[in-house]
Amino acid sequence: MQPTEIPLGQAPDFAAETIATPEYGPGGSSTAIFSTAIAAAPAVCLGVILDPSTYPAWNKWIQRVVVETPAPASAMDEAVPVALAQHLTSCVAAADRPGLLLPGAKFCFEVHMDPESASSRNTSLELTRLEEFVRDDGGSSDKKKGIRVVWKTQGDPWHVRAERVQEFVEDGHGGCEYYNYETFHGLLAWAIRPFMAGPLSNGLRLWMEGLKKEAEARAAAQ
């Protein structure tokens, strides 16, 4: 399956076929997908998910993010698209910018599979890509600019490893189309779909709805 085959308005679910990701390539056991329209520009959406300090306010699934290794000091100038860098510079205080999730940053998600419970588990991740791209849905008039962010799990790569891709594509009206896909690999990855489909889909729904609400509120306030 290709990323462009994810329909807009896709509720969190598993794809019929796995989707290749930038580093791990094709294969894997399963791919979780979702998509939605957001009435906010890609830079505004990324300004939310790249700033760990915002997560408690909008993300009931990932209620806390701890940066374990900051991105290199040069990341903002060398590894961030210009329009996004300008937005981040304007909305994040200089003292807080070293804590942003930029290429090279290693961080830990505090995952609440039950958002009403204090019980959580940690997932260690590394942000590997933050790049502009062109989404081609077919035909010369269907090319749309976007920004893509990619992170992958750290730790034991043999049992379970995952790579998540989030794409924010300009819709031509000041908003964006948000596409997410995450492919799972490893010896134990086969168990994710049959045993974790419900909690994972619910968590992704909370992420999607929370980000949409927060980004649209920020866009409306500008």
Q: What is the pLDDT of residues 65-91, one digit of tens each?
A: 999 999 999 999 999 999 999 999 999
> For 141-158, what is each residue's pLDDT tens digit?
678 999 999 999 998 777
> For 97-129, what is each residue's pLDDT tens digit?
999 999 999 999 999 999 999 999 999 999 999
pLDDT-derived band at 48 (thresholds 50, 70, 90) equals: very high
Mean pLDDT, all residues of the chain: 95
The class (CATH top level) of 3-221 is alpha beta
Residue 23 has pLDDT above 80, yes or no: yes
Residue 206 has pLDDT above 70, yes or no: yes
Q: Using H for helix, E for strand and C for coil, what is the string for the chain? A: CCHHHCCCCCCCEECCCCCCECCCECCCCEEEEEEEEECCCHHHHHHHHCCHHHHHHHCCCEEEEEEEECCCCCHHHHCCCHHHHHHHHHHCCHHHHHHCCCCCCEEEEEECCCCCCCCCEEEEEEEEEEEEEEEECCCHHHEEEEEEEEEEECCCCCCCEEEEEEEEEECCCCCEEEEEEEEEECCCHHHHHHHHHHHHHHHHHHHHHHHHHHHHHHHHHC
This prediction has a pTM of: 0.96
Domain range summary for the chain, segments of one domain joined by +? 3-221
